[in-house]
């Protein structure tokens, strides 16, 4: 028998009363009318109001105790308008003793609220979306207690379920606002992992319904939670033991954070607190998640925002276990599936059978999101930031993920399907043809050898070294290992990774680029201050020269890993010879230190620089006396050369690398390196496109590094090229006043049968 409500403390008493209201017969509207009465009485508030979100981002007053009843269904505020709109826009609570002095206060005469001074409001959250706002108000200027806010948030959770049931606002209202659901649709997105895929949409973990919110017995709930946590930990261990994960690499590092969450005392004790307040274990998990989600999202810290996904992932698993759901791997799923999610943690992606997973669509996400990093390692195209993907796609819809062109096609027409099928078949054919070139030398028709190397950044990329026929790793971006971890890797962890890279590359050379962080590559545990121009800011070598311990540790790890083998160290973003000298001195000191300690040294230590900042090209004489090699970073070079942000889509086509200015600049560099007999290569995206690579060879480049997938097409171009012919033609282009010589080069390629 349950205790009488009056004997039960605080939020539990209120929850019980609400449960009775919910269980009583009547419409959703009549329940809402009762709810405001119960809350106002229990919290000793003169006003309690509920606003529900409608299509068009409008919040409508649906029920009130205390405000003018005439205002119900009349007062409407836009999200962001007034205090109610502010709560919805920020998805966070507000507690004010003098509401009218808040800058966002908006007076609505029809409500008669001018006499109420204090206000406490919370968002009503459902699956991370604000579906309404719950507010209490008092006449006096009072400060609401922390426990009162806590109680209001718990109540909001109950209301979320009532609103989500769809009886108050018909869900089709939102669908209609977003267009006809059955016609083909195109949606824009952002490419997070390359490629094109076609398949059947699977909506990733439709939010688990928590039906029973109020618990009879907190002790039983606590036991259920403990049991589910036990099973959760076992399932995370199983996931980490999977053969494709267990071999290690950065994605494993990412997944280790799951183990951390599954054992995190802070998180678990918050859930237990909510259970003690009267919620069921499921409701407590959900409530804690909503709370943390809002807090982490509001922090503005990209690392913490990323953690939200990990937390959602793990909380979703826990809810599934509490609900007795089967593990995701055992769900019935189509053979060619495209998974659609609001956001996703990397472990969730790995739950899907890799052999049937074709693509991934996310409503959120960034290129540095952990799921994108893992997807790239698995070679799955990912399209991110697709607005409203979940509401526009119905499970079972055919979809095309065209990440290469930043678009998603939902329910494509037959003609589009046919066209994409042809594209995919042609790609597969080309891939097979390029694979056949793998063991063929990269030599032009007039016998000029061009070394093709590949870029890498994840251990998972290393498998492509043999598969692509690359002659080495021309750029190893060491920062990715630092970016996916929750703390800075120590020397031993770094040395272990670098040694594995070298083990896998065998006799082929690897050019390790020292940490290139800052700008768009932020380290989660490093305090990057906001900068007005981050690309030109405190980043890369500038940062590591100012924090030499970081660079020293990295060099130490590289020396350890390379014992008995060749070590190539390359510095990024060098702007002047003095910076190169400072960095090289640090390497020399570390070599001397290792020698003093009788550590086994590399067979050879070569030190070179990236050329990404134009200023360096004006110091070539002293530079070439010092470096063992130079590699042009065309991605950054282009943005500094033309003063043109490389990440700004508006400027994407503004300047062309195939312009006389860039080609002339590169020609000077080629000539100077040749005279000084210094190895020169180029490792930016420029080398990955056959036409651009052709131009580079025409200028005299004999070495390039590119993503593994580009080696085949570039090699096919090299083998069809007569370099002597091209070189003389290019001499005629360098002094032209044109914006670009792309068309001319393309015509040359066509006329001479060059495979572009």
683 lines the binding site for ligand PEP (CB under 6 A): yes
Q: Would you say 191 or 513 has its CB closer to Mg ion?
A: 513
Residue span binding Mg ion (CB under 5 A) among the ranges 24-32, 580-588, 636-644, 732-740:
636-644
Exposed (0-12), middle (13-18) or buried (19+): which is 334, by Cβ within 10 Å? middle
Q: Is 518 in the site for ligand PEP (CB under 6 A)?
A: no
Residue 512 makes CB contacts below 8 A (sequence gap 6+) with 476, 478, 498, 501, 558, 567, 568, 569, 570
Rounded CA separation 630/454 (Å) = 16
**Distance of alpha carbon 401 from alpha carbon 408, whole angstroms:** 5
122 contact, one of Mg ion, ligand PEP, none, CB 5-8 Å limit per kind: none
Q: Which is nearer to ligand PEP, 434 or 571 (CB)?
A: 571
539 binds ligand PEP (CB under 6 A): no
**Residue closer to Mg ion, measured from CB, 316 or 633:** 633
User: Among the candidate windows 101-109, 246-254, 631-639, 743-751, which touches Mg ion by CB under 5 A?
Assistant: 631-639
Residue 634 binds which entry of Mg ion, ligand PEP, none, CB below 5-8 Å type-dependent: ligand PEP
Min dist CB 122 to ligand PEP, Å, is 43
What is the distance between the alpha carbons of residues 471 and 708, in angstroms, rounded to a whole number? 11
How many Å apart are CA 245 and CA 526, to the nearest integer?
A: 27
Taking every pair of Cα atoms in the chain, the longest distance, rounded to a whole number of angstroms, is 96
Residue among 185 and 634 whose Cβ is closer to ligand PEP? 634
690 touches ligand PEP (CB under 6 A) = no
Place of tokens 């956001």: 343
3 state DSSP class of 50: strand
Least distance to ligand PEP, CB of residue 615, Å:
15
Helix, strand, coil: what percent of the chain each, to 5? 50, 15, 35
State how far the Cα of 656 lies from the Cα of 343, in Å rounded to an integer.
Answer: 35
Which member of 82, 320, 345, 633 binds ligand PEP (CB under 6 A)? 633
Answer for the pair 318, 232: CB distance below 8 angstroms, yes or no. Answer: yes
Cα angle: 103, vertex 106, 112; to 5 degrees: 135
- Of 310 and 636, CB closest to Mg ion: 636
Classified as helix, coil or strand, 108 is coil
State which residue, 154 or 639, has the beta carbon closest to Mg ion.
639
Q: How many residues bind ligand PEP (CB under 6 A)?
A: 10
Q: How far is the CB of 685 from ligand PEP (least distance, A)?
A: 7
**Residue number, 168 or 683, with CB nearest to ligand PEP:** 683
Q: How far apart are CA 475 and CA 707, in angstroms?
A: 10
Based on the shown chain and the rule CB under 6 A, indicate whether residue 609 belongs to the binding site for ligand PEP: no
Task: Name the 3-class secondary structure at 684.
Answer: coil
> Which one of ligand PEP, Mg ion, none interacts with residue 477, CB within 5 to 8 A by kind?
ligand PEP
Q: How far is CA 252 from the centre of its chain?
A: 16
Smallest separation, CB 405 to ligand PEP (Å) = 21
Q: Can residue 474 be called a binding residue for Mg ion (CB under 5 A)?
A: no
Pick out residues in 644-673 that bind ligand PEP (CB under 6 A): none
Which residue is listed with tokens 């105790």? Answer: 65
- Is residue 634 at the binding interface for ligand PEP, with CB under 6 A as the rule? yes
User: In the numeric block, which tokens belong to residue 588?
Assistant: 């020399």
Q: Tell me the closest approach of the beta carbon of residue 669 to Mg ion, in angstroms.
A: 16
Q: How far is the CB of 730 from ligand PEP (least distance, A)?
A: 22
CA 719 to chain CA centroid, Å, is 38
Q: From the CB of 302, what's the least distance to ligand PEP, in Å? A: 18
The dihedral through the CA atoms of 237, 239, 241, 247 has a sign that is negative
- Which of these segments, 375-383, 528-536, 581-589, 632-640, binds ligand PEP (CB under 6 A)? 632-640
Given the structure tokens 């659609």, which residue do they identify? 340
Q: Which does 683 bind (CB under 5 to 8 A by kind): ligand PEP, Mg ion, none?
A: ligand PEP
Query: At CA 721, angle to CA 716 and CA 725, rounded to 5?
Result: 170
- The whole-angstrom separation of Cα 115 and Cα 67 is 10
Measured CA to CA, the distance from residue 456 to residue 435 in angstroms comes to 19
Provide, rounded to whole angstroms, the least separation between the CB of residue 477 and ligand PEP. 5
Strand order in the sheet with 76-78: 76-78, 58-65, 47-54, 129-138, 118-126, 94-96
Among 11, 218, 398, 633, binds Mg ion (CB under 5 A): 633
Exactly one of 92, 635, 720, 740 binds ligand PEP (CB under 6 A); that residue is 635
CA distance 573 to 636: 8
Phi, psi (degrees; rounded to nearest 5) at 278: 115, 5
Contact pattern for Mg ion over residues 589 through 628, marking x by CB under 5 A: ----------------------------------------
| 516 near ligand PEP (CB under 6 A) | yes
636 binds Mg ion (CB under 5 A): yes
Query: Which range touches ligand PEP (CB under 6 A), out of 244-252, 438-446, 484-492, 634-642?
Result: 634-642
By CB under 6 A, residue 297 contacts ligand PEP = no
Residues forming the active site: 370, 683
State which residue, 371 or 682, has the beta carbon closest to ligand PEP.
682
Min dist. Cβ of residue 616 to Mg ion (A): 13
**Measured torsion, CA atoms of residues 249, 253, 259, 264, in degrees rounded to the nearest 10:** 170
Q: Which of 310, 313, 636, 692 binds ligand PEP (CB under 6 A)?
A: 636
Of 629-637, 670-678, 714-722, 725-733, the window that binds Mg ion (rule: CB under 5 A) is 629-637
Question: How many Å apart are CA 113 and CA 108, to the nearest integer?
Answer: 8
Binding mask 612-631 for ligand PEP (x = CB under 6 A): x-------------------
The verdict on 684 binding ligand PEP (CB under 6 A) reads: yes
In three-state secondary structure terms, 282 is: helix
Residues 387, 388, 392, 397, CA torsion sign: positive
Q: Could you give the count of Cα atoms lying within 13 Å of 688 in the half-sphere of its Cβ?
A: 14
By CB under 6 A, tell whether 49 contacts ligand PEP: no
Q: Which residues bind Mg ion (CB under 5 A)?
A: 633, 636
Q: Which residues bind ligand PEP (CB under 6 A)?
A: 475, 477, 516, 612, 633-636, 683-684
């Amino acid at each position: 028998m349950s205790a009488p409500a009056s004997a039960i403390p605080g939020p539990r008493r209120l929850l019980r009363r609400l449960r009775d209201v919910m269980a009583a017969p009547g419409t959703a509207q009549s329940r809402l009318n009762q709810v405001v009465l119960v809350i106002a009485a229990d919290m000793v508030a003169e006003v309690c109001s509920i606003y529900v979100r409608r299509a068009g981002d409008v919040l409508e007053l649906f029920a009130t105790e205390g405000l003018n009843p005439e205002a119900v269904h009349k007062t409407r505020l836009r999200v962001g308008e007034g205090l109610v709109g502010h709560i919805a826009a920020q998805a966070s609570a507000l507690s004010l003793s003098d509401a009218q002095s808040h800058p966002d206060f908006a007076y609505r005469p029809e409500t008669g609220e001018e006499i109420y001074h204090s206000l406490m409001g919370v968002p009503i959250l459902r699956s991370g979306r604000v579906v309404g706002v719950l507010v209490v108000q008092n006449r006096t200027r009072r400060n609401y207690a922390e426990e009162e806010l806590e109680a209001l948030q718990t109540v909001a959770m109950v209301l979320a379920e009532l609103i989500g049931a769809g009886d108050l606002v018909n869900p089709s209202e939102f669908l209609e606002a977003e267009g006809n659901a059955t016609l083909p649709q195109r949606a824009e997105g952002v490419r997070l992992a390359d490629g094109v895929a076609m398949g059947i949409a699977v909506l990733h973990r439709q939010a688990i319904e928590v039906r029973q919110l109020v618990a009879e017995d907190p002790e039983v709930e606590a036991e259920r939670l403990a049991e589910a946590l036990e099973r959760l930990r076992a399932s995370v261990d199983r996931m980490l033991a999977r053969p494709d994960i267990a071999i290690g690499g950065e994605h494993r590092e990412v997944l280790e954070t799951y183990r951390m969450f599954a054992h995190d005392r802070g998180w678990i004790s918050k859930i237990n607190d909510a259970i003690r307040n009267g919620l069921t274990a499921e409701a407590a998990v959900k409530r804690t998640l909503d709370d943390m989600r809002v807090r982490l999202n509001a922090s503005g810290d990209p690392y913490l925002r990323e953690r939200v996904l990990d937390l959602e992932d793990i909380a979703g698993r826990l809810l599934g276990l509490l609900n007795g759901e089967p593990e995701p791997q055992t769900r019935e799923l189509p053979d060619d599936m495209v998974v659609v999610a609001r956001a996703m943690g990397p472990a969730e992606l790995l739950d899907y059978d890799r052999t049937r997973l074709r693509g991934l669509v996310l409503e959120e996400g960034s290129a540095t999101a952990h799921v994108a990093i893992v997807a790239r390692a698995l070679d799955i195209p990912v399209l991110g930031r697709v607005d409203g993907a979940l509401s526009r796609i119905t499970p079972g819809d055919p979809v095309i993920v065209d990440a290469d062109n930043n678009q998603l096609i939902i329910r494509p027409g037959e003609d589009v399907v046919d066209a994409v099928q042809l594209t995919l078949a042609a790609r597969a054919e080309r891939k097979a043809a390029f694979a056949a070139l793998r063991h063929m030398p990269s030599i032009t028709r007039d016998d000029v050898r061009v070394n093709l190397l590949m870029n890498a950044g994840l251990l998972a990329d290393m498998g492509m070294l043999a598969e692509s026929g690359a002659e080495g790793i021309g750029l190893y971006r060491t920062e990715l290992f630092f970016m996916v971890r929750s703390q800075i890797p120590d020397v031993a962890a770094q040395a272990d990774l670098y040694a594995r890279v070298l083990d896998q590359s065998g006799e082929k050379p690897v050019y390790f680029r020292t940490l290139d962080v800052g700008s768009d590559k932020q380290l989660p545990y490093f305090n990057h201050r906001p900068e007005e121009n981050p690309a030109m800011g405190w980043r890369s070598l500038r940062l590591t020269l100012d924090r030499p311990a970081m660079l020293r540790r990295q060099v130490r790890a590289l020396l350890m890993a390379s014992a008995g083998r060749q070590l190539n160290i390359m510095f990024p973003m060098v702007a002047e010879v003095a910076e190169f000298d400072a960095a090289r001195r640090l390497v020399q000191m570390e070599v001397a230190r290792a020698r003093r300690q009788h550590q086994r040294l590399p067979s050879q230590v070569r030190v070179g620089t990236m050329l990404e900042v134009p200023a360096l090209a004006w110091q070539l004489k002293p530079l070439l006396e010092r470096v063992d090699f130079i590699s042009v970073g065309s991605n950054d070079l282009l943005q500094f050369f033309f003063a043109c942000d490389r990440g700004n889509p508006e400027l994407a086509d503004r300047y062309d690398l195939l312009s006389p200015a860039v080609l002339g600049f590169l020609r000077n560099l080629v000539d100077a390196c040749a005279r000084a007999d210094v190895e020169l290569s180029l490792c930016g995206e420029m080398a990955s496109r056959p036409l651009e690579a052709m131009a580079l060879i025409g200028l005299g480049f004999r070495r390039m590094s590119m993503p593994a997938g580009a080696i085949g097409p570039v090699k096919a171009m090299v083998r069809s090229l007569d370099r002597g012919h091209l070189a003389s033609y290019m001499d005629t282009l360098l002094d032209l006043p044109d914006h670009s010589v792309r068309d001319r080069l393309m015509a040359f390629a066509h006329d001479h049968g060059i495979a572009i």
